[in-house]
Structure 1
Amino acid sequence: MKPLDPRLLRQARAARRYVVLTTGLGVATTALLVVQSLLLARIIAGVAMDGESLADVRAQVVVLGIVLAARAVIAGAQERFGHRAATAVVRQLRERLIDHATRELGAGQRVPGNENGTENGEGGVTPSGAPLALLATRGLDALDGYLTRYLPQLLLSATLTPAVLVVIWWEDWIAGLTILLTLPLIPLFMALIGMVSQSEADRGLASLQRLGTQVLDLIAGLPTLRALGTASHQAERVRVAGDAHRRATMKTLRTAFLSALVLEVLVTLSVALVAVGIGLRLVHGSLGLHTGLAVLLLAPEVYLPLRTVGTHFHASVDGLAAAQQAFDVLERPVPVRGTVPAPDLARTTISLDAVSVRHDGVPTPTPDRLSAGLAPGEIVALTGPSGSGKSTAVAVLLGLRAPDSGAVVLSDSGAVTLSGAEPVTLSGAGPVSLADVEPESWWRQIAWCPQHPVLVPGTLHENVRLLCPSATDAQIAEAARVTKFDDVVSTVPGGWSGRVGQGGTGLSAGQRQRLALTRLLLSDAPLVVLDEPTAHLDAGSERAVLDLLTELRRRGRTVVMVAHRPALVAAADRTIDVSGHTVAGLETGSQMEVPA
């Protein structure tokens, strides 16, 4: 953990401007401090020793007042620009972090920071995004103390301390030598304390991320836990994680208080040594009062920046630890994204050619060498036991996960053979790998309904139009009739103007699922992907999903769905057993005829 990490200057332009400004203000502060001390010593010595009157020192008093006012203005400017810079730096780092994660996602890589996700039942990990979200919010917010308190004092110690030491040495070399010998004790003890506090800060941030991940996962799975009657049993897990975070935070605070005491004692003893030496020489007449006063006034200022750096260091370790993690994420190489525009999915054959995906802690890939095809306008159901890789296959198809081997191949109609290392087109345009396709042009043609649909705070009307803002009221009413969401609207106070909270608070899991299906039906995307569309619906409500499939078939949409229920599987034109690699009853490697 470096006091001023060069990566901060590279990643945030506002940090560079702030460092330059703070350095300039530090130089001005140093000059004013030296002038102030020398003037004050001159005034006191003149009045005490030479008998000067107020009229004799009036000009010096006026200059002293101007110097004090200038120091106050500089301190206020430092505080003001410090908070502005902290806000700008955190914003720029947050934007770069999210942009980097998005580009990794667009390249089919796992989003950084999601290694602690939850098991998804497919042998893989569901990227909840909780660690990354905490890093980009609470974690980076802790940089405020670093930028407004710690960094200015750090830069001030690099300018004020050596400059004032030179002035003291010029005035009295004995006092200068005393300070020079005692000054290294402060950074030495700071380094020793920093070694301990760094590991504690890392543990504190990790405990906060674990706590946040558990709470978010608990909230996401609360409907299921309630249905199983085990919701209350999760309180102990959250309590244990909260206690761990509390202990880590208190340990960091305890170290901060003790280290501040150590630094105060060191500075007090060091200044006392200087004062004792000056006092003895003043008594013996070997040192003038003006020089002695100037040195006494300047001596504490030599130690002050270093002492303040040590004090504020512990208030900034959380921010530094978060910045370290953010820099690690930003330095991860992002594979080159595809630049080829996606073909029209309304007439494109999508083929999974020997796709395999490995997961951490799982010995075998899931799916394993999956080869399957998806023709335009057909409804295909992905089946197989839990853990066989159905959701992972969907993630690969969406371009959210890059396969460890194999590829997703797009062909503009024609027959495609699915065996062999390279796909062979029998008719139509040449095949294109999904890895070479521009992600945005691919995603614009896909409507995806995950197991946990995303709802934003707002009205039902606003949520249902997210995928199609131009949808008319008549179109919305027709889509709601197909999915039976109109029954839900009739029970919500305010109807379509009724509001839902973050994550769909105010609606049950099944109601949220119906809203997502209605929103999906309004989309004109040629490819529709459904991940367990009946997961939160009872047997009676699954009729709405079957009606949705009928409507999508009528509109000529291509549908891929993860299905377990027999009625849903029966509604598909074709099934793909992800575990057995069977395509419409034909073994892998056999040729699949695709209608033109």
Structure 2
Amino acid sequence: MKPLDPRLLREARSVRGWVLASAAFAIGVTACVVVSAFAIAQALAPVVSGTATLADVRTPLVVLAVAVVARAVLAWAAERTAHASAAQVIGELRGRLLDHATRLPHRWRTEHGAGVVVLATRGLDDLEPYLVRYLPQLLLAATLTPATLAVVLTQDLLSGLLLAFTLPLVPLFMWLVGVTTATFARGRLAVLERQGAQLLDLLAGLTTLRALGREVGPGTRVRRLGEAYRRTTMSTLRVAFLSGGVLELLATLGVALVAVGIGLRLVEGDLTLVTGLTVLVLAPEVYLPLRMVGTHFHASADGVAAAERTFAVLDEPLPASGTLPVPDWSRIEVRGLGVRAGERGYWAPRSVDAVIRPGEILALAGPSGSGKTTTAMAMLGLQPADAGGVRLVDDSTPTGEAGTPLEDVDPAAWWAQVAWVPQRPSFGPGSVAERAGGTSDHVVQAAAATGLDRVVARRGGWTTALGQGGTGLTVGVSVGESQRLALTAALARGARLVVVDEPTAHLDPLAEAEVLAALRGAADAGAAVVVIAHRPTTLAAADHVVRVDGG
């Protein structure tokens, strides 16, 4: 990412106001520094020469005090504004990231979702040092360094030329070391995303792993990932310390050369004491902003890497979104549906044909990885097709009418008519009643049909609290129970299309029979029901079975 990347200005509009505020603070600090240098020189010159009186130093000391106080106030205001602006910018960028990621195709979210979760939480938080420290210091370097160098040139041409010749060495070494640091930072972020994704997977399957006695192996893998993350972090810190030492050495040598030159000319009488002191006070200020830019750059390298990854996600093209209202439909036709699996050229699914009507149950069968869930996502309007497509057809239209392509329909309007129950539903914090959609008659009837009513009675009633992901703050629920909860919410909505992924995979025979009966009841009530299934009992309960293959 560039020092001030235009993409950041484009994606997070609030950063523009912070840039203008930082520039204003930088101009104010620059004025205070220059005034302070002249005041210090005017106050010290008569003291050093031994001719000082109270009248000689009173005015310079008052000016110096005012400049120091003004600089302190500006620094306080800049710091306060920086933290508030950083929180606003990160929040805006996080919102843009999540909004964009949720609108990307289902397959992309499946492959990259865990990385986006890490990026939106821990990753973007690392952007704060960039906004609070690096960016203000960069703007200060753009104002204070040229201004102080210009003042030195007007006061002592020789010292100014010496600073002008040594000054470019600082950004040169900053660039050389910065390239290495950026590589380490990107590696650190990649390790963090990979570790976060694996940790989420392990936590999701922790119960199963413990039941099978296999919790030791994953723990060892997490420790290895943690050690790799530690080594990458320490590598970044080593580079940062090395670059800091190089910049300090360059600045020290530059100031030392100026000081030696001033001392020799003062002895020879070629320079006045006031001028020499002014230049000597300003010389470190010429280097200071660039040194601090280098220091804060390394502190913000992780945030820069996170921002680049965020921009990469935001650059992912969104599927075309339709604008047509949902037409009256009497069947959904899947014609030659095919979706490519990544960049491998593998189709999953490959050329699927199916017809689903209200009042029927359609089962999607096939081996794992063949594209059954992807086919269901295409019916829900969550996955664009690379070949063929999904159409909404009205039997009352004239013969030959092709129907309306689902991709041309307004997604929000279509999603209002559908319900989706994944294989592992996840719930945010709240009560069972809130997650089921209330306790109305529709919800109670749906709960009775799915067997959720017995779960509710056994777990403590509809007010039982659930935690994130269905892990209870007060009580936990099993995968099968969470599926029945999600199915209850879906059936209570009265959706015209209900899509369910492996609804009986985690149920005993009695609960399985109840869920299949509930799906049949939804179909009899006029819903088109699509079931992703492997179990023979589920396939037998369907009116039609479509085999899905990849290749």
Is residue 320 of structure 1 aligned with residue 304 of structure 2?
A: yes
Is residue 379 of structure 1 aligned with residue 346 of structure 2?
A: no
Name the SS of the counterpart of 2:239 in structure 1.
Answer: helix
Compared CA separation, residues 414 and 127, structure 1 to 2 (3 A): farther
Give 1:328 deviation, angstroms: 2.2
Give 1:127 deviation, angstroms: 4.1
Corresponding residue of 2:454: 487
2:338 paired residue among 320, 331, 356: 356
Compared CA separation, residues 480 and 577, structure 1 to 2 (3 A): same
Distance in 2 separating the partners of 1:10 and 1:383: 46
2:518 paired residue among 542, 548, 565: 548
Corresponding residue of 1:129: 113
Report if aligned partners of 1:90, 1:143 keep a CA contact under 8 Å in 2: yes
Q: How does 1:163-562 map to 2 (within 5 A)?
A: 163-344=147-328, 347-360=329-342, 364-413=346-395, 426=399, 431-465=403-437, 471-472=439-440, 474-492=441-459, 494-505=460-471, 506-562=476-532
| Structure 1: gaps (5+ residues) | 115-125, 416-424, 582-596
Any idea what the Cα deviations from partners look like across 1:195-225, whole Å, max 9, x if unmatched? Answer: 1001101100000000011111222233443
Compared CA separation, residues 580 and 236, structure 1 to 2 (3 A): closer
Report if aligned partners of 2:334, 2:391 keep a CA contact under 8 Å in 1: yes
Letter in 1 for 2:91: R
More helix by share: 2
Q: What is the Cα-based RMSD across aligned positions, in Å?
A: 2.0
Distance in 2 separating the partners of 1:128 and 1:12: 22
TM-score normalised by the chain length of structure 2: 0.95
Name the SS of the counterpart of 2:347 in structure 1.
Answer: coil
Distance in 2 separating the partners of 1:11 and 1:438: 25
Please say which of residues 143-152 and 334-343 is displaced more in the overlay.
334-343
Give 1:414 deviation, angstroms: 5.0
Give 1:580 deviation, angstroms: 10
Distance in 2 separating the partners of 1:67 and 1:296: 18
Report if aligned partners of 1:372, 1:576 keep a CA contact under 8 Å in 2: yes
Letter in 1 for 2:353: S
Corresponding residue of 1:72: 72
Any idea what the Cα deviations from partners look like across 1:306-349, whole Å, max 9, x if unmatched? Answer: 000001110111111111122222233334311111224xx431
Report if aligned partners of 1:110, 1:401 keep a CA contact under 8 Å in 2: yes
Compared CA separation, residues 187 and 364, structure 1 to 2 (3 A): closer
Please say which of residues 42-51 and 196-205 is displaced more in the overlay.
42-51
Name the SS of the counterpart of 2:278 in structure 1.
Answer: helix
Any idea what the Cα deviations from partners look like across 1:286-314, whole Å, max 9, x if unmatched? Answer: 22111111111100000000000001110
Report if aligned partners of 1:197, 1:317 keep a CA contact under 8 Å in 2: yes
Name the SS of the counterpart of 2:193 in structure 1.
Answer: helix
Is residue 566 of structure 1 aligned with residue 548 of structure 2?
A: no
Compared CA separation, residues 554 and 372, structure 1 to 2 (3 A): closer
Corresponding residue of 1:594: none
Please say which of residues 293-302 and 501-510 is displaced more in the overlay.
501-510
Any idea what the Cα deviations from partners look like across 1:101-126, whole Å, max 9, x if unmatched? Answer: 23434xxx754xx4xxxxxxxxxxx3
Compared CA separation, residues 438 and 275, structure 1 to 2 (3 A): same
TM-score normalised by the chain length of structure 1: 0.88
Any idea what the Cα deviations from partners look like across 1:443-465, whole Å, max 9, x if unmatched? Answer: 11111100111211111111111
Any idea what the Cα deviations from partners look like across 1:518-552, whole Å, max 9, x if unmatched? Answer: 22221111110001011222333212212212321
Name the SS of the counterpart of 1:341 in structure 2.
Answer: coil
Q: How does 1:32-47 map to 2 (within 5 A)?
A: 32-47=32-47
Give 1:562 deviation, angstroms: 0.8
Distance in 1 separating the partners of 2:433 and 2:319: 39
Is residue 145 of structure 1 aligned with residue 129 of structure 2?
A: yes
Any idea what the Cα deviations from partners look like across 1:405-450, whole Å, max 9, x if unmatched? Answer: 00111112259xxxxxxxxx627x6511011111111111111100
Report if aligned partners of 1:412, 1:430 keep a CA contact under 8 Å in 2: no
Report if aligned partners of 1:110, 1:400 keep a CA contact under 8 Å in 2: no
Any idea what the Cα deviations from partners look like across 1:3-44, whole Å, max 9, x if unmatched? Answer: 111111122221111111111211121111111110110011
Compared CA separation, residues 335 and 518, structure 1 to 2 (3 A): closer
Q: Across the two proteins, how many residue pairs are aligned to each other?
A: 547
Identity score, percent: 52
Corresponding residue of 2:97: 97
Any idea what the Cα deviations from partners look like across 1:342-382, whole Å, max 9, x if unmatched? Answer: 224xx431001011122137554122111111112211111
Compared CA separation, residues 443 and 482, structure 1 to 2 (3 A): same
Compared CA separation, residues 580 and 24, structure 1 to 2 (3 A): closer
Give 1:57 deviation, angstroms: 2.7
Distance in 1 separating the partners of 2:209 and 2:385: 32
Distance in 2 separating the partners of 1:298 and 1:362: 61
Report if aligned partners of 2:337, 2:349 keep a CA contact under 8 Å in 1: yes
Report if aligned partners of 1:356, 1:366 keep a CA contact under 8 Å in 2: yes
Name the SS of the counterpart of 1:533 in structure 2.
Answer: coil
Report if aligned partners of 1:282, 1:289 keep a CA contact under 8 Å in 2: yes
Report if aligned partners of 1:391, 1:531 keep a CA contact under 8 Å in 2: yes
Compared CA separation, residues 247 and 170, structure 1 to 2 (3 A): same
Give 1:227 deviation, angstroms: 4.5
Name the SS of the counterpart of 1:334 in structure 2.
Answer: coil
Give 1:128 deviation, angstroms: 6.1
Report if aligned partners of 2:346, 2:550 keep a CA contact under 8 Å in 1: no
Report if aligned partners of 1:86, 1:144 keep a CA contact under 8 Å in 2: yes
